[in-house]
Amino acid sequence: MAFNLHHSRHFITLSYLFLLLCSCFSSIFCSSDNDFPPVTPINRDLYRTSDALMEEIEALVNRHQDRLHMETFQSTNKGYHAELNVVTYCRNRTAIEDKSKFRILLSFGQHARELITTELALRILSILSEEQFLPKMDPLLLNKTLEKIVIKVVPMENLNGRKKVEAGDVCERRNGRGVDLNRNWSVDWGKKEKDFDPYEENPGIGPFSEPEAQLMRKLSTSFEPHIWVNVHSGMEALFMPYDHKNTTPSGVESQKMRLMLETLNHLHCGDRCVVGSGGGSVGYLAHGTTTDYMFDVAKVPMAFTFEIYGDEKASSRDCFKMFNPVDHPTFNRVLNEWSATFFTMFNMGAHQMKDPQESTPFNMDHLISIDDYLNGYLIERKSRYGEKKEFLDLGLQEIRTYFRLFLLSSVMLMFMFCSRIAKSNRSHLPSISL
Protein backbone atom coordinates (compact mmCIF):
# COMPACT_ATOMS: atom_id res chain seq x y z
CA MET A 1 0.00 0.00 0.00
CA ALA A 2 2.81 2.37 0.89
CA PHE A 3 4.56 1.42 -2.36
CA ASN A 4 1.48 2.23 -4.43
CA LEU A 5 0.96 5.54 -2.62
CA HIS A 6 4.56 6.54 -3.26
CA HIS A 7 4.27 5.87 -6.99
CA SER A 8 0.89 7.59 -7.12
CA ARG A 9 2.43 10.78 -5.75
CA HIS A 10 5.15 10.66 -8.42
CA PHE A 11 2.51 10.07 -11.10
CA ILE A 12 0.44 13.07 -9.93
CA THR A 13 3.54 15.29 -9.84
CA LEU A 14 4.62 14.25 -13.35
CA SER A 15 1.09 14.70 -14.66
CA TYR A 16 0.97 18.22 -13.21
CA LEU A 17 4.32 19.10 -14.81
CA PHE A 18 3.17 17.67 -18.14
CA LEU A 19 -0.01 19.75 -18.08
CA LEU A 20 2.00 22.85 -17.13
CA LEU A 21 4.40 22.32 -20.04
CA CYS A 22 1.51 21.80 -22.43
CA SER A 23 -0.03 25.01 -21.23
CA CYS A 24 3.23 26.91 -21.78
CA PHE A 25 3.76 25.50 -25.27
CA SER A 26 0.16 26.25 -26.14
CA SER A 27 0.48 29.87 -25.07
CA ILE A 28 3.67 30.30 -27.10
CA PHE A 29 2.90 28.44 -30.28
CA CYS A 30 -0.86 28.21 -30.40
CA SER A 31 -1.92 31.71 -29.48
CA SER A 32 -5.19 32.77 -30.97
CA ASP A 33 -5.91 36.14 -32.53
CA ASN A 34 -7.51 37.16 -29.27
CA ASP A 35 -4.06 37.23 -27.67
CA PHE A 36 -2.89 39.99 -30.06
CA PRO A 37 -3.83 43.67 -29.79
CA PRO A 38 -7.13 44.40 -31.56
CA VAL A 39 -6.99 45.46 -35.21
CA THR A 40 -8.65 48.79 -35.98
CA PRO A 41 -11.32 48.58 -38.69
CA ILE A 42 -11.80 51.29 -41.31
CA ASN A 43 -13.75 54.16 -39.78
CA ARG A 44 -16.59 54.72 -42.24
CA ASP A 45 -17.57 57.94 -40.45
CA LEU A 46 -14.26 59.41 -41.62
CA TYR A 47 -13.29 57.57 -44.80
CA ARG A 48 -15.27 57.23 -48.00
CA THR A 49 -15.24 54.09 -50.08
CA SER A 50 -13.34 54.36 -53.35
CA ASP A 51 -16.61 54.49 -55.29
CA ALA A 52 -18.07 57.19 -53.04
CA LEU A 53 -14.89 59.25 -53.18
CA MET A 54 -14.69 59.19 -56.97
CA GLU A 55 -18.41 59.96 -57.28
CA GLU A 56 -17.96 62.99 -55.03
CA ILE A 57 -14.98 64.18 -57.06
CA GLU A 58 -16.89 63.72 -60.30
CA ALA A 59 -19.81 65.73 -58.91
CA LEU A 60 -17.39 68.45 -57.79
CA VAL A 61 -15.92 68.63 -61.29
CA ASN A 62 -19.39 68.86 -62.84
CA ARG A 63 -20.28 71.78 -60.56
CA HIS A 64 -17.14 73.69 -61.56
CA GLN A 65 -16.57 72.96 -65.22
CA ASP A 66 -15.15 76.44 -65.70
CA ARG A 67 -11.99 75.41 -63.82
CA LEU A 68 -12.03 71.62 -63.35
CA HIS A 69 -11.83 68.90 -65.97
CA MET A 70 -11.76 65.12 -65.45
CA GLU A 71 -10.41 62.40 -67.73
CA THR A 72 -10.25 58.62 -67.36
CA PHE A 73 -7.41 56.63 -68.95
CA GLN A 74 -7.38 52.83 -69.21
CA SER A 75 -4.78 50.15 -69.87
CA THR A 76 -4.67 46.35 -69.89
CA ASN A 77 -1.71 43.98 -69.52
CA LYS A 78 -2.04 40.18 -69.73
CA GLY A 79 -5.69 40.29 -68.71
CA TYR A 80 -5.14 42.75 -65.87
CA HIS A 81 -7.09 45.99 -66.36
CA ALA A 82 -6.49 49.33 -64.67
CA GLU A 83 -7.89 52.82 -65.01
CA LEU A 84 -6.55 56.20 -63.97
CA ASN A 85 -8.74 59.20 -63.18
CA VAL A 86 -7.05 62.58 -63.64
CA VAL A 87 -8.55 65.92 -62.57
CA THR A 88 -7.05 69.06 -64.12
CA TYR A 89 -7.38 72.48 -62.50
CA CYS A 90 -6.89 75.66 -64.50
CA ARG A 91 -8.45 79.01 -63.69
CA ASN A 92 -9.25 79.39 -67.38
CA ARG A 93 -10.24 76.07 -68.98
CA THR A 94 -9.10 77.26 -72.40
CA ALA A 95 -5.54 77.66 -71.07
CA ILE A 96 -5.07 74.03 -69.93
CA GLU A 97 -2.62 73.35 -72.76
CA ASP A 98 -0.75 76.62 -72.25
CA LYS A 99 2.87 75.54 -71.73
CA SER A 100 3.81 78.92 -70.27
CA LYS A 101 1.84 78.03 -67.13
CA PHE A 102 3.60 76.59 -64.09
CA ARG A 103 2.62 72.91 -64.07
CA ILE A 104 2.16 70.70 -61.00
CA LEU A 105 1.41 66.95 -60.95
CA LEU A 106 0.13 65.30 -57.76
CA SER A 107 -0.56 61.60 -57.13
CA PHE A 108 -2.46 60.15 -54.16
CA GLY A 109 -3.30 56.61 -53.12
CA GLN A 110 -0.41 54.83 -54.84
CA HIS A 111 -0.33 52.45 -51.87
CA ALA A 112 -3.76 50.99 -51.26
CA ARG A 113 -3.80 51.04 -47.44
CA GLU A 114 -3.01 54.78 -47.21
CA LEU A 115 -6.61 56.02 -47.31
CA ILE A 116 -5.86 59.40 -45.76
CA THR A 117 -3.97 60.47 -48.88
CA THR A 118 -7.05 60.15 -51.10
CA GLU A 119 -9.10 62.19 -48.62
CA LEU A 120 -6.45 64.91 -48.91
CA ALA A 121 -6.83 64.85 -52.69
CA LEU A 122 -10.56 65.58 -52.32
CA ARG A 123 -9.85 68.37 -49.82
CA ILE A 124 -7.36 70.07 -52.17
CA LEU A 125 -9.80 69.87 -55.09
CA SER A 126 -12.55 71.32 -52.88
CA ILE A 127 -10.34 74.28 -52.01
CA LEU A 128 -9.36 74.80 -55.65
CA SER A 129 -13.06 74.90 -56.56
CA GLU A 130 -13.67 77.36 -53.67
CA GLU A 131 -16.21 75.13 -51.97
CA GLN A 132 -13.84 75.02 -49.01
CA PHE A 133 -11.31 77.60 -47.86
CA LEU A 134 -7.99 77.85 -46.07
CA PRO A 135 -8.61 80.13 -43.08
CA LYS A 136 -5.12 81.67 -42.94
CA MET A 137 -4.46 82.01 -46.65
CA ASP A 138 -4.46 85.49 -48.21
CA PRO A 139 -7.20 85.26 -50.89
CA LEU A 140 -5.57 87.91 -53.10
CA LEU A 141 -2.22 86.13 -53.04
CA LEU A 142 -3.94 82.79 -53.65
CA ASN A 143 -5.81 84.15 -56.68
CA LYS A 144 -2.63 85.57 -58.19
CA THR A 145 -0.93 82.22 -57.71
CA LEU A 146 -3.75 80.16 -59.20
CA GLU A 147 -3.84 82.34 -62.30
CA LYS A 148 -0.29 81.22 -63.12
CA ILE A 149 -0.56 77.46 -62.66
CA VAL A 150 -2.11 74.28 -64.01
CA ILE A 151 -2.52 71.37 -61.57
CA LYS A 152 -3.21 67.75 -62.46
CA VAL A 153 -4.43 65.58 -59.58
CA VAL A 154 -4.56 61.78 -59.59
CA PRO A 155 -6.89 61.20 -56.62
CA MET A 156 -6.47 57.41 -56.44
CA GLU A 157 -3.64 55.91 -58.45
CA ASN A 158 -4.13 52.35 -57.16
CA LEU A 159 -7.86 51.77 -57.49
CA ASN A 160 -7.62 47.97 -57.78
CA GLY A 161 -5.49 47.68 -54.65
CA ARG A 162 -7.86 49.96 -52.78
CA LYS A 163 -10.72 47.56 -53.55
CA LYS A 164 -8.76 44.78 -51.80
CA VAL A 165 -8.32 46.96 -48.72
CA GLU A 166 -12.02 47.70 -48.63
CA ALA A 167 -12.73 43.96 -48.91
CA GLY A 168 -10.86 43.40 -45.63
CA ASP A 169 -7.13 43.17 -46.45
CA VAL A 170 -6.27 46.41 -44.64
CA CYS A 171 -2.50 45.80 -44.83
CA GLU A 172 -2.44 45.60 -48.64
CA ARG A 173 -0.29 48.24 -50.31
CA ARG A 174 0.21 46.66 -53.74
CA ASN A 175 -1.97 46.82 -56.83
CA GLY A 176 -4.67 44.34 -57.86
CA ARG A 177 -2.17 41.65 -58.87
CA GLY A 178 0.34 42.04 -56.06
CA VAL A 179 2.90 44.51 -57.45
CA ASP A 180 4.17 47.52 -55.52
CA LEU A 181 3.59 50.42 -57.90
CA ASN A 182 6.34 52.42 -56.20
CA ARG A 183 8.91 49.76 -57.12
CA ASN A 184 7.80 49.30 -60.76
CA TRP A 185 9.66 52.26 -62.31
CA SER A 186 12.93 51.97 -64.20
CA VAL A 187 15.51 53.82 -62.06
CA ASP A 188 17.50 51.09 -60.26
CA TRP A 189 14.59 48.68 -60.78
CA GLY A 190 14.69 45.21 -59.27
CA LYS A 191 17.57 45.64 -56.84
CA LYS A 192 16.85 43.88 -53.56
CA GLU A 193 18.22 44.89 -50.17
CA LYS A 194 19.00 42.34 -47.46
CA ASP A 195 15.67 43.06 -45.76
CA PHE A 196 13.69 42.78 -49.00
CA ASP A 197 10.17 41.44 -48.49
CA PRO A 198 8.49 40.27 -51.71
CA TYR A 199 5.06 40.69 -50.14
CA GLU A 200 5.61 44.36 -49.38
CA GLU A 201 7.93 45.39 -52.21
CA ASN A 202 7.26 43.12 -55.20
CA PRO A 203 8.68 45.17 -58.13
CA GLY A 204 6.86 43.21 -60.87
CA ILE A 205 8.35 41.19 -63.71
CA GLY A 206 10.03 44.24 -65.22
CA PRO A 207 9.99 48.06 -65.23
CA PHE A 208 6.54 49.40 -66.14
CA SER A 209 5.01 45.95 -66.21
CA GLU A 210 1.93 47.39 -64.49
CA PRO A 211 -0.78 49.34 -66.34
CA GLU A 212 -0.99 51.91 -63.54
CA ALA A 213 2.72 52.76 -63.90
CA GLN A 214 2.41 52.89 -67.69
CA LEU A 215 -0.46 55.36 -67.45
CA MET A 216 1.38 57.56 -64.96
CA ARG A 217 4.47 57.61 -67.18
CA LYS A 218 2.40 58.70 -70.19
CA LEU A 219 0.74 61.41 -68.11
CA SER A 220 4.04 62.82 -66.88
CA THR A 221 5.54 62.74 -70.38
CA SER A 222 2.66 64.65 -71.96
CA PHE A 223 2.18 67.14 -69.11
CA GLU A 224 5.87 67.94 -68.42
CA PRO A 225 5.37 69.14 -64.83
CA HIS A 226 7.67 71.54 -63.01
CA ILE A 227 6.71 69.99 -59.65
CA TRP A 228 5.84 66.37 -58.91
CA VAL A 229 4.58 65.15 -55.52
CA ASN A 230 3.88 61.51 -54.64
CA VAL A 231 1.72 61.53 -51.50
CA HIS A 232 2.02 58.71 -48.96
CA SER A 233 1.48 57.99 -45.27
CA GLY A 234 3.41 56.01 -42.69
CA MET A 235 5.39 58.86 -41.13
CA GLU A 236 5.66 62.65 -41.33
CA ALA A 237 8.29 63.58 -43.88
CA LEU A 238 9.15 65.79 -46.84
CA PHE A 239 11.42 63.82 -49.14
CA MET A 240 13.40 64.75 -52.22
CA PRO A 241 15.48 62.39 -54.41
CA TYR A 242 17.02 59.96 -54.05
CA ASP A 243 15.18 56.90 -52.74
CA HIS A 244 17.58 54.28 -54.10
CA LYS A 245 20.74 55.73 -52.55
CA ASN A 246 21.71 57.65 -49.46
CA THR A 247 22.43 60.92 -51.24
CA THR A 248 20.66 63.96 -52.68
CA PRO A 249 21.31 65.42 -56.13
CA SER A 250 23.95 68.11 -56.51
CA GLY A 251 23.56 71.58 -57.94
CA VAL A 252 21.18 74.49 -57.75
CA GLU A 253 18.02 72.44 -58.36
CA SER A 254 18.78 70.32 -55.31
CA GLN A 255 19.37 73.42 -53.20
CA LYS A 256 16.05 74.86 -54.33
CA MET A 257 14.23 71.63 -53.47
CA ARG A 258 15.76 71.46 -50.01
CA LEU A 259 15.01 75.12 -49.32
CA MET A 260 11.38 74.65 -50.29
CA LEU A 261 11.04 71.54 -48.10
CA GLU A 262 12.68 73.19 -45.11
CA THR A 263 10.40 76.20 -45.50
CA LEU A 264 7.30 73.99 -45.67
CA ASN A 265 8.53 72.03 -42.66
CA HIS A 266 8.96 75.21 -40.64
CA LEU A 267 5.68 76.82 -41.67
CA HIS A 268 3.32 73.84 -41.56
CA CYS A 269 5.05 70.89 -39.88
CA GLY A 270 6.33 72.70 -36.82
CA ASP A 271 9.83 71.48 -37.78
CA ARG A 272 8.82 67.93 -36.85
CA CYS A 273 8.85 66.43 -40.35
CA VAL A 274 11.90 64.56 -41.58
CA VAL A 275 13.51 66.45 -44.47
CA GLY A 276 16.04 65.03 -46.93
CA SER A 277 16.44 62.17 -49.37
CA GLY A 278 14.14 59.20 -48.96
CA GLY A 279 17.07 56.79 -49.07
CA GLY A 280 18.98 58.71 -46.44
CA SER A 281 16.11 59.47 -44.07
CA VAL A 282 13.49 56.73 -44.03
CA GLY A 283 15.78 53.96 -42.78
CA TYR A 284 15.94 51.79 -45.91
CA LEU A 285 16.67 52.15 -49.62
CA ALA A 286 13.84 51.88 -52.14
CA HIS A 287 14.57 50.91 -55.75
CA GLY A 288 12.40 51.61 -58.77
CA THR A 289 10.43 54.48 -57.23
CA THR A 290 8.33 57.02 -59.07
CA THR A 291 10.02 60.10 -57.62
CA ASP A 292 13.51 58.96 -58.65
CA TYR A 293 12.23 58.39 -62.19
CA MET A 294 10.51 61.77 -62.31
CA PHE A 295 13.73 63.53 -61.35
CA ASP A 296 16.34 61.47 -63.21
CA VAL A 297 14.49 60.46 -66.38
CA ALA A 298 11.47 62.74 -66.79
CA LYS A 299 13.66 65.68 -65.69
CA VAL A 300 11.04 67.22 -63.43
CA PRO A 301 12.92 70.11 -61.74
CA MET A 302 11.30 69.54 -58.33
CA ALA A 303 10.32 65.94 -57.49
CA PHE A 304 9.05 65.16 -54.01
CA THR A 305 7.50 62.47 -51.84
CA PHE A 306 5.33 63.74 -48.98
CA GLU A 307 4.52 61.46 -46.03
CA ILE A 308 1.55 63.07 -44.31
CA TYR A 309 0.80 60.86 -41.30
CA GLY A 310 2.04 57.89 -39.30
CA ASP A 311 1.28 56.30 -35.93
CA GLU A 312 4.55 54.78 -34.76
CA LYS A 313 2.92 53.36 -31.63
CA ALA A 314 0.46 51.22 -33.57
CA SER A 315 0.92 47.46 -33.65
CA SER A 316 2.58 46.06 -36.76
CA ARG A 317 -0.64 44.13 -37.41
CA ASP A 318 -2.84 47.22 -37.03
CA CYS A 319 -2.15 48.64 -40.49
CA PHE A 320 -5.16 50.91 -40.74
CA LYS A 321 -4.22 52.73 -37.53
CA MET A 322 -0.54 52.82 -38.48
CA PHE A 323 -1.18 54.63 -41.77
CA ASN A 324 -4.39 56.57 -41.16
CA PRO A 325 -5.84 58.82 -38.43
CA VAL A 326 -8.66 57.04 -36.60
CA ASP A 327 -10.31 59.94 -34.75
CA HIS A 328 -12.01 63.11 -35.98
CA PRO A 329 -9.61 65.70 -34.45
CA THR A 330 -6.49 64.05 -35.90
CA PHE A 331 -8.19 63.41 -39.23
CA ASN A 332 -9.18 67.09 -39.57
CA ARG A 333 -5.78 68.32 -38.37
CA VAL A 334 -3.93 66.27 -40.97
CA LEU A 335 -6.17 67.49 -43.80
CA ASN A 336 -5.98 71.12 -42.69
CA GLU A 337 -2.21 71.19 -42.15
CA TRP A 338 -1.32 69.40 -45.35
CA SER A 339 -3.80 71.33 -47.48
CA ALA A 340 -2.08 74.50 -46.31
CA THR A 341 1.30 72.90 -47.07
CA PHE A 342 0.32 72.21 -50.66
CA PHE A 343 -1.03 75.70 -51.29
CA THR A 344 2.13 77.25 -49.88
CA MET A 345 4.07 75.02 -52.25
CA PHE A 346 1.87 76.19 -55.14
CA ASN A 347 2.67 79.79 -54.23
CA MET A 348 6.41 79.20 -53.89
CA GLY A 349 6.51 77.28 -57.15
CA ALA A 350 4.57 79.89 -59.10
CA HIS A 351 6.92 82.61 -57.89
CA GLN A 352 9.90 80.79 -59.36
CA MET A 353 8.80 82.56 -62.53
CA LYS A 354 9.69 86.20 -63.00
CA ASP A 355 6.99 86.51 -65.64
CA PRO A 356 4.09 84.01 -65.91
CA GLN A 357 4.23 84.34 -69.70
CA GLU A 358 7.80 83.07 -69.93
CA SER A 359 8.05 79.44 -70.96
CA THR A 360 11.17 78.48 -68.95
CA PRO A 361 10.22 79.01 -65.32
CA PHE A 362 13.48 77.64 -63.96
CA ASN A 363 15.85 79.77 -66.05
CA MET A 364 18.75 80.68 -63.82
CA ASP A 365 18.69 84.27 -65.08
CA HIS A 366 15.46 84.71 -63.13
CA LEU A 367 16.99 83.73 -59.78
CA ILE A 368 18.96 86.14 -57.62
CA SER A 369 21.90 84.77 -55.68
CA ILE A 370 23.23 86.01 -52.34
CA ASP A 371 26.26 87.39 -54.18
CA ASP A 372 23.93 89.63 -56.18
CA TYR A 373 22.52 91.05 -52.96
CA LEU A 374 26.00 91.64 -51.53
CA ASN A 375 27.09 93.38 -54.74
CA GLY A 376 24.28 95.90 -54.46
CA TYR A 377 21.56 94.26 -56.52
CA LEU A 378 18.86 96.00 -54.49
CA ILE A 379 20.32 99.41 -55.30
CA GLU A 380 20.73 99.11 -59.03
CA ARG A 381 21.48 96.69 -61.87
CA LYS A 382 22.12 96.99 -65.57
CA SER A 383 19.45 96.27 -68.10
CA ARG A 384 20.17 94.28 -71.26
CA TYR A 385 21.08 97.60 -72.94
CA GLY A 386 23.64 98.54 -70.29
CA GLU A 387 21.50 101.24 -68.66
CA LYS A 388 20.97 101.32 -64.90
CA LYS A 389 17.63 100.43 -63.37
CA GLU A 390 16.58 101.97 -60.09
CA PHE A 391 15.34 99.81 -57.22
CA LEU A 392 11.69 100.81 -57.55
CA ASP A 393 11.63 99.86 -61.23
CA LEU A 394 12.19 96.21 -60.34
CA GLY A 395 8.67 95.87 -59.00
CA LEU A 396 7.58 95.54 -55.41
CA GLN A 397 6.35 91.97 -55.76
CA GLU A 398 9.64 90.72 -57.23
CA ILE A 399 11.71 92.36 -54.51
CA ARG A 400 9.51 91.07 -51.73
CA THR A 401 9.71 87.53 -53.12
CA TYR A 402 13.49 87.53 -53.49
CA PHE A 403 14.04 89.15 -50.13
CA ARG A 404 11.80 86.63 -48.38
CA LEU A 405 13.68 83.76 -50.02
CA PHE A 406 16.96 85.31 -48.86
CA LEU A 407 15.73 85.61 -45.27
CA LEU A 408 14.26 82.11 -45.29
CA SER A 409 17.48 80.59 -46.60
CA SER A 410 19.49 82.40 -43.90
CA VAL A 411 17.16 81.25 -41.12
CA MET A 412 17.14 77.68 -42.39
CA LEU A 413 20.93 77.53 -42.61
CA MET A 414 21.21 78.72 -39.00
CA PHE A 415 18.61 76.18 -37.96
CA MET A 416 20.44 73.33 -39.69
CA PHE A 417 23.66 74.12 -37.82
CA CYS A 418 21.97 74.54 -34.43
CA SER A 419 19.66 71.54 -34.30
CA ARG A 420 19.38 67.91 -35.22
CA ILE A 421 16.39 66.19 -36.72
CA ALA A 422 15.44 63.09 -34.82
CA LYS A 423 15.08 60.07 -36.96
CA SER A 424 12.77 57.25 -35.93
CA ASN A 425 13.86 53.62 -36.08
CA ARG A 426 10.95 51.95 -37.76
CA SER A 427 11.75 48.33 -37.20
CA HIS A 428 8.34 46.68 -37.83
CA LEU A 429 7.80 45.50 -41.36
CA PRO A 430 4.45 47.07 -42.38
CA SER A 431 5.86 50.53 -41.61
CA ILE A 432 7.34 50.59 -45.12
CA SER A 433 5.75 53.66 -46.63
CA LEU A 434 7.70 54.91 -49.65
Give me the active site residues, please. Answer: 307
Backbone angles phi, psi at 126, to 5 degrees: -65, -35
CA distance 214 to 238: 25
The CA-based angle 61-163-183, given to 5 degrees, is: 95
Kind of pairing, strands 380-382 and 388-390? Answer: antiparallel
CA distance 129 to 67: 7
The answer to whether the beta carbons of residues 98 and 74 sit under 8 Å apart is no
DSSP labels, 210-249: SHHHHHHHHHHHHH--SEEEEEE-SEEEEEES-SSSS---
Q: Over the range 261-285, which residues count as b (16 or more CB within 10 Å of their CB) and which as e?
A: bbbbbbebbeeebbbbbbbbbbbbb
Give Cα separations from 339 to 49, 217, 262 (angstroms). Answer: 21, 25, 17
Kind of pairing, strands 68-77 and 80-90? Answer: antiparallel
| 333 three-class SS | helix
Q: Could you give the strand order of the β-sheet that contains 68-77, starting from the edge strand earlier in sequence?
A: 68-77, 80-90, 149-154, 102-108, 227-232, 302-309, 235-240, 274-277
| 17 three-class SS | helix
CA distance 9 to 92: 93
Count the residues in the chain: 434
Give the residue ranges of DSSP H helices in 50-138. Answer: 50-63, 115-128
The CA-based angle 59-350-66, given to 5 degrees, is: 25
CA distance 125 to 216: 19
